[in-house]
Structure 1
Amino acid sequence: MIVMDRDQGRKPRKSAARGSYAVGDERRARILDVAVEHFAQWGFHASSLARIAKDVGITQGGLLHHFRSKEDLLVSVLRHSDEQDVARFFSLEPRTAVEAFESIVDLARFNSERPGRTRMFNVLAAEAGELGHPAHDYFVRRYRAVVGQIAGTLRAAVERGELGPDTDCERVASEIAAVMDGLQLQWSLAPATYDMPGRLHGYLDRLLRSLTADGSGLPANG
């Protein structure tokens, strides 16, 4: 008979625990992915936890083990998506206004490659205009943060002398956010025939030429 000492006996339990956590993380990620498609297709109010759980391949009780409610799932989906975008496109401070604008175009290009998430954003942003919508406060805070971040980048460019000293950074930042979302909405209606990143690049190029001290714009859209 093989006798395991106490340290040896712990190893299988640790391995099992790690495996359990990995399965839990994978399932949570799968729930978020499926929820994106459901919120994109039906919006928040018409989406059903039971249908989401069925498409994931678990029970509704199993879904609620990871997310306390449909509201919790919605906010988690939105936060998860934002965290991925920030890590991918805005983790480093842009060195120039050109770099900042190119990052925005890169994000639009990425959005055109994930139609489910982009449609979800369009649907939920429109729904969240209702004061009682569970994502209302999230979108208020998000737009405030987005406009603030872009405005801060523009102010830094003004200080470096790239942009004219009379640049209204808050106004320009708000317009950039509005134009990007508007182009995204038009793209979602006819994605096969609408070049969203190309249109955004053209707008930002014209905008930058109107703001830069030397009239320079963005490099050609690659």
Structure 2
Amino acid sequence: MAGKSAADEQRHRPETEAKRRAILEAAVEVFGQKGSAKGTLEEVAEKAGMTRAGVLHHFGSKQRLLLETLIYRDSSDVADYSDHHMPSGLEMFRHLIKTAQMNQKRQGITRAYVTLSSESIVDGNVGYDYFRQRYANLRQDLVNALMDAGRLRGVEVDEKNAANTAASILAAMDGLQLQWLLDPDEVDLSETTEYVIRSLVAQVFNPGKQIL
């Protein structure tokens, strides 16, 4: 039997991408609710309206699907930017505030991120390398954003202080997401995240009087 022509592949590409997206959205929900260990490919397949074999056809293995689910979550955060990359300078921190606002409206993706990132610290977990590199990249992105903002404002920013601020912002965002998922009526994710980010960034550019 002859293989598919280039025209056939081009014609079926939108359909393939639609199926992959359906699988990823189903995976976000399943793994977000049950974690990567208890969530099954059968459950993902059922939610996506296909068979387990169909899921494996598109992603090859459960491990690959998990990684692609994490990447899908991250890519959705920068979808509004023309180059699909993180912004620079103070716009980076506005982006983080906007991300928290979006996360409050998409609990499934947020729950999946919290669940999968927490599980990644276990030895041999499929997400370990991904999350380790992700945090390293984000910390550096935030440090660069603070240094860029300082240069634009004519303010000398200490790189060590910027690094501490970057790590603190990421830790606060993750911790607030967990608190919000546990008690959404008591913790306002977008408001508390904005408060923390504005406070920490302000401390870099205007340290003021130390209370503690």
Q: Same fold (TM over 0.5)?
A: yes
Matched, 1:52 2:44: yes
Distance, in Å, in 2 between the alignment partners of 1:162 and 1:177 is 26
| Cα offset, 1:137, TM superposition | 0.6
Unaligned runs of 5+ in 1: 1-12, 216-222
| Cα offset, 1:162, TM superposition | 5.5
Secondary structure of the corresponding residue to residue 88 of structure 1: coil
Q: Which moved more, 1:195-204 or 1:32-41?
A: 195-204
Matched, 1:174 2:167: yes
Partner residue of 2:177? 184
Q: Does the 8 Å CA contact 2:93/2:197 hold for their aligned counterparts?
A: yes
Distance, in Å, in 1 between the alignment partners of 2:49 and 2:10 is 22
**TM-score normalised per structure 2:** 0.85
Percent identity for Structure 1 against Structure 2:
31
Distance, in Å, in 2 between the alignment partners of 1:209 and 1:163 is 12
Q: Does the 8 Å CA contact 2:116/2:127 hold for their aligned counterparts?
A: yes
Matched, 1:81 2:86: no
Between Structure 1 and Structure 2, how many residues are aligned? 200
Q: Does the 8 Å CA contact 1:36/1:117 hold for their aligned counterparts?
A: yes
| Cα offset, 1:36, TM superposition | 0.4
Secondary structure of the corresponding residue to residue 36 of structure 1: helix
Q: Which moved more, 1:58-67 or 1:113-122?
A: 58-67
Matched, 1:113 2:105: yes
1:168-197 C-alpha deviation (Å, 9 max, x unpaired): 111110111001111111111122332111
1:81-116 C-alpha deviation (Å, 9 max, x unpaired): 21222333673643x42x332211001101111100
Counterpart selection for 1:103 from 79, 95, 113: 95
Distance, in Å, in 2 between the alignment partners of 1:19 and 1:193 is 49
Distance, in Å, in 1 between the alignment partners of 2:167 and 2:150 is 17
1:115-163 C-alpha deviation (Å, 9 max, x unpaired): 0000011111111111210011110010001111001111112223455
Structure possessing the higher radius of gyration over alpha carbons: 1
Distance, in Å, in 2 between the alignment partners of 1:134 and 1:214 is 41
Matched, 1:20 2:15: no
Distance, in Å, in 1 between the alignment partners of 2:132 and 2:207 is 36
| Cα offset, 1:47, TM superposition | 1.1
Partner residue of 1:8? none
Q: Which moved more, 1:113-122 or 1:206-215?
A: 206-215
Tell me: CA distance 1:173–1:92, structure 2 relative to 1, closer, same or farther (3 Å).
closer
**TM-score normalised per structure 1:** 0.82
Matched, 1:91 2:92: no
Partner residue of 2:129? 137
1:13-39 C-alpha deviation (Å, 9 max, x unpaired): 94x655432222111110000000010
Question: CA RMSD for the aligned pairs?
Answer: 2.2
Q: Does the 8 Å CA contact 1:129/1:136 hold for their aligned counterparts?
A: yes
Matched, 1:33 2:14: no
| Cα offset, 1:50, TM superposition | 1.6
